[in-house]
Chain A
């Protein structure tokens, strides 16, 4: 059985401008000791999704279920959630400076986390444990640094302190929301290394939310790509990177500069992500999709198996065999699109092809 099993999770927020449909029916599971990477752009719903799991989206209307060790996290009372949050599931946020209280010593904050879940531990014991944890996450001279305030730590050290706090109660699942985005490349490498090491030591499951495909390539086992509150594609890491099916996944991979193709023109995805209040009908990606067909305009595609392996699923009407970045796959896509595209869809496709980004000469 999976450690966490999320089924058809939906989250919406009523606002003055209308209902923001942040998450629109997402299902996934996380296994013990494995890492699931959730990739998506700003506004794709990835952060709301994980905060909902922790009961951190007050005011949101939530439906669906999230089974964690026999408990449904959706609709769990705040007392029960407090027992799980921190102890069973812990979080590492993007910005370590705002996640730490500036007026309390780092060691005290870690100790507080421990004591809030087990009152029998004395302050002194909690402090000793904090020292041990700080040493474990690679803070030099932890016995001295435990009495420092967050501003005396560098960005990388603060993130280490956050990680120390997150692992202090040996949780079964760690949710890391863009944990390295605010950090420099060399520090990011240190932190990813640390997360991997800790995971191997204690068989913790990791839910890694990021917009950085490089981070996912580095540490994820499985990947879910999100677009406009839904899963566009789910697969093992290698399938996502080498055999993408959904045009959005393909578009993401093609928009990042690759060292091998230095100075070639990038292939961006045209247009902007949609407003979550006013979503396009049918597939939410269709106004930006170069493979738009008639059915994409009215019908919402669901995740269906593609490729050979059963694990690879994509929410797109293109044929299951159209995976990867090869010429054959592209030919198959073109053929399908030609047959399935008329009046309105053809007009959208033309508009996409004529968008300013695809104009201009190729640079030498």
Chain B
């Protein structure tokens, strides 16, 4: 990982070619452990859930970083760490070159305006007993940026911007459908004109036709306001659609990272390859032709992760070395310097992992 940490905060339209200036967020070796107490005789021993274990990434201005991985790989925990919602065990988070790791509530406040979140469940994320106008206006109230009629006007502008009828200012969340509720969530996140919006599974709970509406809205807002997104989703096609670059996580670590097309078309980590091959494509002919790599077993516990490469117990290519030495996240032979893979034996072009996987299963 290279690049300077000093970034200017005043350039709203950075050029793509200068590295450093275009970096909005940089995460260095972030570690987040959750302590768990043992039970019974072991009540005093404390072990750790190693939710995120040494993750580095950068989010560029006006761009989208997609974060994929299965349940329990630490992607949501990572998002919450970046948003400053939970303290970090180790590592650093830089926002526009400023170290914002574990700031106090007071110190964090200005950054909260810059980093907003959209959540998965549009039903759970909105207080059912408050009117939509007051929900979307809450950020203005907290940061004391607008009040009274000015706030109402600002809220109605936002509602219009995200495709809601401003006349519905006084309605309750229950009166809106799932897609409209997600728009309310987007309007609230947008209220303070943040630079980064963390979208944690923003369309997973929505039907496909509504999902496309919300994805288009997010794309429009990115264009209009130069937003950066950290986009978390388990639907790989959705992530590919919205992302400029993609990071694949497995059990708290980065397995592979790089430009979206590069990772999707030429995955080098066996896990990324398996994940991509498993995602169902809405195309019967390609589904019939595709060789699915069926992984055996389940994701191991992050309390006691496997030694060496954390993927090795399920990997069709695993060898002795994989259990002993942890692979570094680095560009593999023939890949561009932006395409990083943490694997001792990366997948080569044309290699049939499906066959290797099947042999394993027998």
Using a CB–CB distance below 8 Å, which chain A residues touch chain B?
A: 41-42, 140, 154-157, 184-190, 192-193, 211-218, 237-238, 241-242, 251-253, 255-259, 262-263, 265-270, 272-273, 356-357, 360-361, 363
Contacts and interface: CB of A to CB of B under 8 A. Distances in A.
Given A186-B295, A257-B237, A212 B280 contact: yes
5 contacts: A217-B282, A257-B237, A272-B179, A357-B216, A360-B220
Given A188-B278, A215-B280, A266-B216, A272 B237 contact: no
Interface string B199-219: 000000001111111011101
A41 B209 contact: yes
A193 B274 CA distance: 14
B243 to A, nearest CB: 9
Contacts of A211: 207-208
Interface of B: 70-71, 163, 177-180, 207-213, 215-217, 219-220, 222-223, 234, 236-238, 240-241, 260-261, 264, 274-275, 277-285, 287, 292, 294-295, 297-299
At the interface, is chain A mostly helix, strand, loop or mixed?
Answer: helix
Contact of B282 (A251, A253, A357): A253
Contacts of A41: 207-210
B290 to A, nearest CB: 9
Contacts of A266: 212, 215-216, 241
Nearest to A223: B284
A352 to B, nearest CB: 13
B260 A262 contact: yes
Nearest to A180: B280
Nearest to A272: B177
Nearest to B236: A185
Contacts of B220: 360-361, 363
Contact of A155 (B71, B223, B241): B71
A66 to B, nearest CB: 27
B44 to A, nearest CB: 24
A42 B282 CA distance: 19
Nearest to A212: B280
A42 B216 CA distance: 21
A214 B210 contact: no
B281 A268 contact: no
Contacts of A360: 216, 220, 223
A357 B183 CA distance: 12
Contacts of B163: 356-357
Contacts of B281: 214, 217, 259
Closest 3 CB pairs of A and B: A214-B280, A268-B212, A257-B241
A184 B70 contact: yes
Given A154-B298, A270-B213, A361-B223, A259 B70 contact: no
A268 B209 contact: yes
Given A185-B279, A268-B211, 9 more contacts: A186-B274, A193-B294, A212-B280, A214-B279, A251-B209, A259-B240, A268-B212, A272-B177, A361-B223
Contacts of B282: 213-214, 216-217, 241, 253, 256, 258
Contacts of B261: 262
A157 to B, nearest CB: 7
A262 B210 contact: no
Given A193-B294, A251-B209, A266-B215, A259 B237 contact: yes
A259 B280 CA distance: 12
B280 A357 contact: no
A140 B274 CA distance: 21
Nearest to A254: B212
Contacts of A242: 284
B271 to A, nearest CB: 9
B110 to A, nearest CB: 30
A185 B277 CA distance: 9
Contact of B275 (A185, A217, A258, A357): A185
B339 to A, nearest CB: 17
A184 B71 contact: yes
Contacts of B210: 41, 268, 272
A190 B295 CA distance: 8
A162 B264 CA distance: 33
Nearest to A236: B284
A257 B294 contact: no
A205 to B, nearest CB: 19
A361 B216 CA distance: 10
A34 to B, nearest CB: 15
Contacts of A156: 298
A217 B298 CA distance: 25
A211 B204 CA distance: 12
Contacts of B234: 184-185
Contacts of A212: 280
Contact of B208 (A188, A237, A256): A256
B216 A218 contact: no
Contact of A257 (B71, B215, B217, B278): B215
A189 B209 contact: no
Nearest to B209: A269
Nearest to A184: B70
Contacts of B236: 185
B74 to A, nearest CB: 14
A360 to B, nearest CB: 4
B278 A255 contact: no
Contacts of A42: 178, 207
Contacts of A259: 237, 240, 264, 281
A140 B212 contact: no
Nearest to A215: B280
A237 B283 CA distance: 9
- Most chain A CB within 10 A, of B236, B241, B275, B280, is at B280
A16 to B, nearest CB: 16
B209 A255 contact: yes
B232 to A, nearest CB: 13
Contact of A268 (B178, B213, B283, B298): B213
A298 to B, nearest CB: 25
A262 B220 CA distance: 16
A256 B206 CA distance: 12
